[in-house]
Amino acid sequence: MQSLQKAWRVVGGFVELNRRACLDLRERRLFKRMPSDYWNRLPEVVFGQQEPVFVLSTGRCGTALLTKILGHLPGVLCYHAPSPEFVYSQKRAYEEGLDQFETFKAVVAAARFELLADCAARGRRYVETNCRITFFAPHLFDLFPKARFVHLVRHPGSFVRSGVRRGYYEGSYADMGRIRPTGGPVADAWGQMTPIERCAWLWNETNAFIERFKADHDTQRILTIKAEDLFSRPDTTLQLCRHCRLPEPDESRVARWIKKPVNRQLAGDLPPYTLWDEDRKNQLRRWATLATTYGYES
């Protein structure tokens, strides 16, 4: 029975990919029918009229599930890992993005213009759930006056467990772009910090950056939601769609989608946070000081 269900999922995935490819081809054929001056006006449309949606997060908090849900909405193109992905550039944006604002603004504009132009020409909304866009949030806010932002936050214990099991800060390819403390007591202590402490610092520092961004910008364009609600409550997805002015899916369909975990971390032997001993929990509490801001009891 399980083999049959797996086979049906594979077939269903192939059919969906084929359907989307045909739709992409059909929409791009319409390019030939555009008025002759349309393409010269397209940059103005992209930067002045488009309403892109950017999801800001630490990663490992439901962005893959959100991509799956929003990718089913009519008139939406949702990207979880667009190219360039900013694996390395996110770290530079964290360290230098505000001091060299116009430079990093030009970088992200060049990196995303063609994707947004493609959406505009096809009459689609652009949504990006890539967590590495987070440290470009101030630049994106300035570039796209009609953009909407979603801050997706997850319990630090769940994020840290996932990060430790994935080997964060232990020599993986993505570590070249993972942020680190740039000075002060934290930088001095970094060499002696455990994997749990480093991942807890990453969770806290990323969310602190997002909180500063929210404090400095129009909060009517920014929605904060918890991953735990996204995983368990279909109305959270509907709230997000209303905030972002996206088509609202049927609630029963959302309920079916959220029952199936996406991009779940299976490797690693660190147990769930609720089973940690006090020493591990204290390591997290020491660095994840924003936990109570979101109502998390650490």
User: Can you give the pLDDT at residue 23?
Assistant: 60
Task: Kindly report, residue by residue over 183-238, the tens digit of the pLDDT.
Answer: 999 999 999 999 999 999 999 999 999 999 999 999 999 999 999 999 999 999 99
Question: Which residues, listed in sequence order, are joined to residue 56 by a DSSP beta bridge?
Answer: 151
For residues 254-273, give the mean pLDDT. Answer: 85
**Rounded Cα distance, 163 and 297, in Å:** 19
- H or E, element range at 150: strand 148-153
**Residue type at position 108:** V
> How crowded is the C-beta side of 210, counted as CA atoms within 13 Å?
28
More confident residue, 31 or 236: 236
Tell me what pLDDT residue 265 has. Answer: 72
Q: How many whole angstroms separate alpha carbon 122 and alpha carbon 191?
A: 50
Looking at residue 2, its pLDDT comes to 52
Nearest Cα to 69, choosing from 235, 225, 257, 246?
257
The torsion region of residue 276 among left (phi > 0), alpha (psi -120 to 50) and beta comes to beta
User: What is the rounded distance in angstroms from the CA atom of residue 171 to the CA atom of residue 110?
Assistant: 30
**CA proximity to 69, closest of 242, 245, 234:** 234
| Residue 31 scores a pLDDT above 90 | no
The per-residue pLDDT for 7 is: 52
Rounded CA separation 135/209 (Å): 8
Instruction: For 148-170, write each residue's pLDDT tens digit.
Output: 999 999 999 999 999 999 999 99
Is the predicted pLDDT of residue 279 greater than 90, yes or no? yes
The answer on pLDDT for 18 being more than 60 is no
The rounded mean pLDDT for the chain is 92
Q: What is the pTM of this model?
A: 0.91
Sequence-distant (6+) residues with CB within 8 A of 25 are none
28 contacts 122 by C-beta, under 8 angstroms: yes
- Higher model confidence: residue 268 or residue 295? 295
Query: What residues have CB less than 8 Å from 230, skipping those under 6 apart?
Result: 62, 65, 66, 152, 236, 237, 240, 258
Order of strands, edge to edge, in the sheet holding 222-226? 76-79, 125-128, 53-56, 148-153, 222-226
pLDDT tens digits, one per residue of 92-142 = 999 999 999 999 999 999 999 999 999 999 999 999 999 999 999 999 999
Tokens of 248: 């609202």
**Top-confidence residue, 187 or 27:** 187
Q: Looking at residue 15, what is its pLDDT?
A: 46
